[in-house]
């Protein structure tokens, strides 16, 4: 197998950056969205970029703690064999980390015989995207929005995160400053380096805002005509945020709900459906007789399959704490126009860019898995002409939906039984995903918390 990079791309990168970089990180994204991989000295970069690297195929079955529970015989049972990981075109770049400038390239996994490694979430998403295009004739255009917190690297006396006491700030006061430009200005050194690293990695970071919780921000990524590339960029963006934060003595966190009394962090996915001629299926000027119905059917499919996908949208116990009434996170199967309280929103936009915004996933969800689940829902809605009901015009977040599994155990059980998700994630992969997450849940529940001691001792 040969690299996905051209000789020209490799040679130009090494000519432009080889002398200035301390190392080159070859990275993959695991089931939990964690960036893992190998660090190469620059004198081995040419070989890596042209030939790839050995990498265990079962490394994608690690849980969030880095443990492999050998799910369904993937891991030690099969000898933990190496596959090969090859560079993904368009992902080779440079960034400014805590220890200076370095290079990074995203890799994707194959078996030694050339078969794609279906344990890799990126390959799962690639398969889902291919299936979606084959069935619908549409090539999704996607953009991600990500919310995150910036904390001090040091924890407080109780071991909890707290805001940094940055120059020009007002100390560690827990005051929300949504849309506050002065608050952005206080963090500008961090954001300047972040945007510089995004540019160096080809990640189209655009608008930044202060969010509702103190120390919380949102960055939008530009729409991309290749949905898999959009998921690549989202995955690498989270890694860049964490690396640049460390450079500034900060800790960045995409945890869905760091504080029970503050707003949580979400991952919003915007999606439109261009056909082979570039016409958006949801555009009433391009499809005057069907666009409105197509938009509604797609929304209906997302709502009808939302329960199936909750084990993906909320990938850990903490993620379910985000779903509280009147806390900006959707708590029911609802949709509406220009309404941020719903699960599936139709944003204000021109007809040509008419789209749906999926607002359910936590910021710590795996972008590849979220993309695959959203594609599954939209396909289901279009194929079955699902009715989403009347668009909500008021507050859809006042009461939780009893039809949604808003706890980890039930969500994993429903996900594992879902025929819709099995079709898009793969009949072989879905049981592996659920087994890994169920083992993680059981391991988490086997620990004794400080609160249990305080309450019940």
Q: Average model confidence (pLDDT) for the chain?
A: 94
What structural domains and CATH numbers belong to the chain?
7-115 (3.10.20.70), 130-456 (3.30.590.10)
Section 102-112 average pLDDT: 97
Backbone φ, ψ for residue 54 (5° rounding): -70, 140
Specify the pLDDT at position 173.
Answer: 60
* Mean pLDDT of the region 313-332: 95
What is the rounded average pLDDT of the residues 311-327?
96
Beta bridge partners of 39: 25
pLDDT at res. 158? 81
- 74: confidence class by pLDDT, cuts 50, 70, 90: confident
Q: What's the pLDDT tens digit per position in 15-41?
A: 999 899 999 999 999 999 999 999 999
| 1 pLDDT above the threshold of 70 | no
Confidence of residue 151 (pLDDT cuts 50, 70, 90): very high
Average pLDDT over residues 236-262: 96
Cα separation of 294 and 386, whole Å? 10
pLDDT in the model for residue 310: 99
pLDDT tens profile 395-449? 999 988 999 999 999 999 999 999 999 999 999 999 999 999 999 999 999 999 8
pTM of the model: 0.96
Query: Mind listing the pLDDT tens digit for each residue in 275-299?
Result: 999 999 999 999 999 999 999 999 9
Task: Classify strands 205-210 and 216-221 as parallel, antiparallel or unpaired.
Answer: antiparallel
* Tens-place pLDDT, residues 54-63: 999 989 999 9
**What phi-psi label fits residue 365: left (phi over 0), alpha (psi between -120 and 50 degrees) or beta?**
beta
Q: Is the model's pLDDT at 232 over the cut of 90?
A: yes
With a CB cutoff of 8 Å and minimum separation 6, the contacts of 44 are none
What gap in Å lies between CA 126 and CA 110, rounded to an integer?
A: 13
pLDDT confidence of residue 320: 97
Cα-Cα-Cα-Cα dihedral sign, residues 55, 60, 66, 69: negative
Query: Which phi and psi angles does 24 have, rounded to 5°?
Result: -130, 120
Q: Please list the residues that pair with 56 across neighbouring strands.
A: 82
Has residue 171 got a pLDDT over 60?
Answer: no
Cβ-Cβ contacts under 8 Å for 439 (sequence gap 6 or more): 63, 69, 71
């Amino acid at each position: 197998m040969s690299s996905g990079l051209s000789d020209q791309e490799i040679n130009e990168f090494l000519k432009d950056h080889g002398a200035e970089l301390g190392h080159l990180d070859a990275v993959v994204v695991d089931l939990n969205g964690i960036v893992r991989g190998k660090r190469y000295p620059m004198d081995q970069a040419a070989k890596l970029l042209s030939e790839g690297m050995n990498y265990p195929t079962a490394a994608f079955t690690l849980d969030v703690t880095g443990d492999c529970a050998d799910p369904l015989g993937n891991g030690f049972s099969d000898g933990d064999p190496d596959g090969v990981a090859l560079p993904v075109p368009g992902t080779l770049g440079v960034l400014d980390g805590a220890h200076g400038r370095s290079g990074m390239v995203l890799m994707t996994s194959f078996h030694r015989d050339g078969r794609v490694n279906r344990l890799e979430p990126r390959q799962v998403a690639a398969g889902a995207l291919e299936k979606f295009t084959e069935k619908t004739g549409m090539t999704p255009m996607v953009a991600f929005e990500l919310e995150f917190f910036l904390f001090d690297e040091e924890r407080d006396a109780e071991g909890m995160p707290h805001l940094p006491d940055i120059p020009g700030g007002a100390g560690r006061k827990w005051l929300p400053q949504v849309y506050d430009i002065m608050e952005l200005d206080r963090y500008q050194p961090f954001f300047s380096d972040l945007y510089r690293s995004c540019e160096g990695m080809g990640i189209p970071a655009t608008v930044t805002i202060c969010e509702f919780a103190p120390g919380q921000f949102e960055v939008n990524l530009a729409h991309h005509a290749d949905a898999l590339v959009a998921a690549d960029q989202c995955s690498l963006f989270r890694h860049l945020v964490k690396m640049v934060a460390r450079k500034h003595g900060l800790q960045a966190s995409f945890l869905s709900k760091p504080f029970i009394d503050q707003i949580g962090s979400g991952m919003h996915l915007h999606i439109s459906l261009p056909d082979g001629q570039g016409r958006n299926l949801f555009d009433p000027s391009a499809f005057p007789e069907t666009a409105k119905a197509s938009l509604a059917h797609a929304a209906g499919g997302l709502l009808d399959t939302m329960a199936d996908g909750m084990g993906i949208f909320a990938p850990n116990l903490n993620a379910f704490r985000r779903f509280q009434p009147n806390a900006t996170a959707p708590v029911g199967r609802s949709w509406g126009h220009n309404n941020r309280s719903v699960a599936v929103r139709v944003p204000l936009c021109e007809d040509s860019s008419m789209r749906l915004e999926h607002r359910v996933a936590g910021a710590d969800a795996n972008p590849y898995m979220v993309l695959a689940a959203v594609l599954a829902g939209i396909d289901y809605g279009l194929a079955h002409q699902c009715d989403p009901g009347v668009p909500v015009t008021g507050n859809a977040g006042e009461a939780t939906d009893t039809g949604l599994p808003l706890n980890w155990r039930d969500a994993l059980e429903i996900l594992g039984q879902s025929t819709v998700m099995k079709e898009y994630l793969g009949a072989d992969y879905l049981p592996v995903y659920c087994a890994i997450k169920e083992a993680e849940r059981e391991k988490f529940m086997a620990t004794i918390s400080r609160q249990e001691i305080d309450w019940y001792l």
